[in-house]
Chains A and B, each alone.
Chain A
């Protein structure tokens, strides 16, 4: 197969030769990014665009490990040579005259890698023209609108075809792709001076998200569920803040894996992370119940999957908490030794002009021995049925309160202080199968160590969770998450719901 980046082979050679001439080791990153976006508001096209991006990033390392970087979006010989000179002479070599410069020579020891690691997609972005895609999104938009005419429906569809080629001075020359596709549907109810807005997503890696019958079926079920939720939320009150027993759907289980735990295992943050001690991972420490593991790694077909790191190293599956014990970190070439783990290939860069940093890709929270559950979708089960199931498994006493957040709105973490937060569009307080009250959005904040040490139990098989763009150091990366279909977490002082006092 001929890669679309093959034509840049002479330019890559120019960059590597120029680096050799300057007596430095180089990592060349070539990015070819194409996206297509269309926004439909109540059946009308609001915006349609494509944004092709191409460019080259050049990381260089002097023999004693001083680093420099340069980038250019002009892919011609003169610009590339100039950029290598800037990275080497103006940046890396100039910096060595300063005291306290960080040096890292780990890249010199890494094995070279060659080949193409392409995720196969069912549909190529060019298999439909922009007008055909626009019309399909319009019909999906109209379908949601027909559920409740009071609703304003905005559909934002985005499909990305992104390919990278990484070449290094050691002969590494590897190509990988990162296709993503997502239909985000916002439902807005604006009446009598009150506004409620929430959304649902269907996601994947290609146009199948809007073309395949299975995906359209998921879309229809979510549209019905969320339109009904929006209607209920318009008159919802505020819940009383405090500590509650919590039931999490797989969307929130995944959000928990990503925000509350995963970030604190990113090796480039280990000096300040609560899972680090003097910069080393606190390997072997028991931090969670025996039944709980947290895993991140490449999963073909998942939104945000990346087989190869931005430094040209294969990405490994990382079980960072295994059976409740700290086991590994999301490391890359430059952080692995310092942190005390192997190289797991977790470096990602948003664009050719960014420096790769340690990132998650697809992150899961897993119960190794969950309660069985025959349902395949939470849209097929009611809250009173779930409550009764929990009572049956002695996870709840009849009449015991439990909260169930719906529609994850994202979260944030401070790995240094061990604090995290999530938000939700609404939250159900279930007091018994007949008394279920919906409240409006409530933030939940927590202490990472206390929250993951709390007893928790998974229910059902592993399901994909939420998708999104994770922000770190000013860079965005497409990520997804997931876990068992449901998780129940005991009441703890370390997870607090904000609310009225």
Chain B
């Protein structure tokens, strides 16, 4: 793209100046793309709140190390490129000192053969305006006839984008990516989604219907439950929310390096056992057609597959270049982060092992929880009561209280394959109704 060449040439010009605008290093990311979307809100397609839409995006971010030792962070938009000299002065005015500000990195081997683009999605984004309506029609036909469906809300979008990461040390990575995302919600109670870099097969969409069925067939049978300490199952979406909020947040390099995490940097250096040895957490930056798969991070760190927690032991926090410098550990790969469990059981076995408990399909207010301790006290948005291993019906309201870190240490915590690549967890919690 011409604009990228112009910007990099301009930044190089500032590297040979002899005034306070002299740049010693630069790094920028730039993306240009288009996405289209369509929705059905409460049984009606389109309309003022979910119209068919087209969005064009053009811009990126910039990091500059000035010759005087200060650094600047800002963003690039179309006007940046029109008024570069003025903008560079504005960037300098924002500069600040930080002793851990990283150097930009030398180019490293980047995996450029990743499966991150589907030509069919390029065609849909650019030309085929009808494909997304077809998805809406599929869901509508399948779900509107179900006796539990009152209000059906559906969203579908596709996108196609060119991305670039460049720095003053010669890093120059360009790639083209696509994405598709579609979700369905029934009666504002149950929902499911598909988000990948490739077009879904019919089977992928059918799985969404099956998952909604799994919850909604019990939705009309509202049952009372009692407050007690009991076994609960966190279904994959809920478990992912818990892991994101408590585990992944505490593994953020910035929090670890600044002593704001439950984990300390020495814990990683000593590979401290923090969870049961059954549990590992892995970044897979190479996985085919995952939305989070890209060739490199926005700083040029190559994608790879690496453990964050292996057999319950801390290996590394998530580290960008700044916190890599501060901790003295290597920067980590971008990519999808998921659980790897050595010993799992079947979901039915997990369910049948509960005498009196709760299957949690949705929680409300995860963002309100203090993530540093692992302690949770949270409302159940959607849950099903289990008695003697069988689902009895939908509960009206409940809160669950426990400690996720303790649960992940506990040998009695069990995991099960729920669907492909999706894990459910059984643990004990205080339930108040």
Query: A-side interface residues toward B, CB under 8 Å?
Result: 38, 41, 44-54, 59, 61, 66-76, 79, 82-83, 86-87, 90-92, 94-95, 98, 100-104, 107, 129-131, 134, 152, 154, 188, 190, 194-198, 238, 241-242, 268, 271-272, 333-334, 353, 355, 357, 409-417, 419-423, 425, 440-443, 445-447, 496-501
Contacts and interface: CB of A to CB of B under 8 A. Distances in A.
A477 to B, nearest CB: 15
Nearest to B229: A501
B51 A72 contact: no
Given A50-B94, A423-B377, A501-B227, 18 more contacts: A48-B73, A51-B74, A52-B75, A59-B48, A86-B56, A94-B130, A95-B38, A100-B140, A152-B259, A188-B372, A196-B372, A410-B367, A415-B188, A419-B379, A421-B364, A425-B370, A440-B375, A501-B432
Interface in B115-153: 129-130, 133, 140, 151
A272 B51 contact: no
Interface string B77-119: 1110000000000100110111000000000000000000000
B433 interface: yes
B378 A498 contact: yes
B297 to A, nearest CB: 17
Nearest to A188: B260
Contacts of B328: none
Given A70-B54, A72-B56, A242 B368 contact: no
Nearest to A243: B432
Given A67-B46, A445-B397, A49 B188 contact: no
Contacts of B36: 90-91
Contacts of B74: 49-52
Contacts of A501: 227-229, 430-432
14 contacts: A47-B73, A70-B53, A90-B54, A101-B47, A152-B258, A241-B399, A410-B365, A414-B364, A423-B365, A443-B378, A443-B401, A496-B399, A499-B430, A501-B432
A49 B73 contact: yes
B262 interface: yes
Interface string B403-428: 00000000000000000000000000
**Which of B49, B187, B378, B381 has the most chain A CB atoms inside 10 A of its CB?**
B49
B45 A73 contact: no
Contacts of A100: 44-45, 140
Contacts of A417: 188-189
Contacts of A238: 401
A37 to B, nearest CB: 10
Nearest to A27: B48
Interface of B: 36, 38, 41-42, 44-59, 73-75, 77-79, 90, 93-94, 96-98, 129-130, 133, 140, 151, 187-189, 227-229, 254, 258-260, 262, 364-365, 367-370, 372-373, 375, 377-379, 381, 396-401, 430-433
A457 B155 CA distance: 43
Contacts of A357: 49
A152 B42 CA distance: 47
A129 B229 contact: no
Interface of B is mostly: mixed
A301 B90 CA distance: 29
Contact of A195 (B38, B44, B130, B373): B373
A79 B379 CA distance: 46
A355 B379 CA distance: 30
A7 to B, nearest CB: 11
Contacts, number: 262
A60 B430 CA distance: 52
Nearest 3 pairs of A and B residues by beta carbon? A102-B47, A498-B399, A423-B368
A494 B13 CA distance: 67
Contacts of A496: 397, 399, 432-433
A74 B259 CA distance: 42
A91 to B, nearest CB: 4
Contact of A102 (B41, B377, B433): B41
B364 A87 contact: no
A91 B54 contact: yes
Contact of A498 (B48, B187, B400): B400
Nearest to B433: A496
Contacts of A104: 47-48
A261 B396 CA distance: 18
Contact of B51 (A67, A131, A196, A241): A67
Given A410-B365, A447-B397, A501-B228, A86 B50 contact: no
Contact of A500 (B50, B51, B140, B401): B401
A95 B54 CA distance: 13
A73 B77 contact: yes
Contacts of A53: 75, 77
A422 B368 contact: yes
Contacts of A355: 48-51, 53
Contacts of A86: 54, 56
A102 B39 CA distance: 11
Contacts of B48: 59, 61, 67, 102, 104, 107, 333-334, 355
A103 B370 CA distance: 44
A419 B397 contact: yes
A499 B75 contact: no
B49 A441 contact: no
Contacts of B259: 152, 190
**Which of B140, B259, B398 has the most chain A CB atoms inside 10 A of its CB?**
B259
B88 to A, nearest CB: 13
B363 to A, nearest CB: 9
Contacts of A188: 260, 372
Contacts of B377: 423, 441-443, 498-499
B58 A74 contact: yes
B381 A242 contact: no
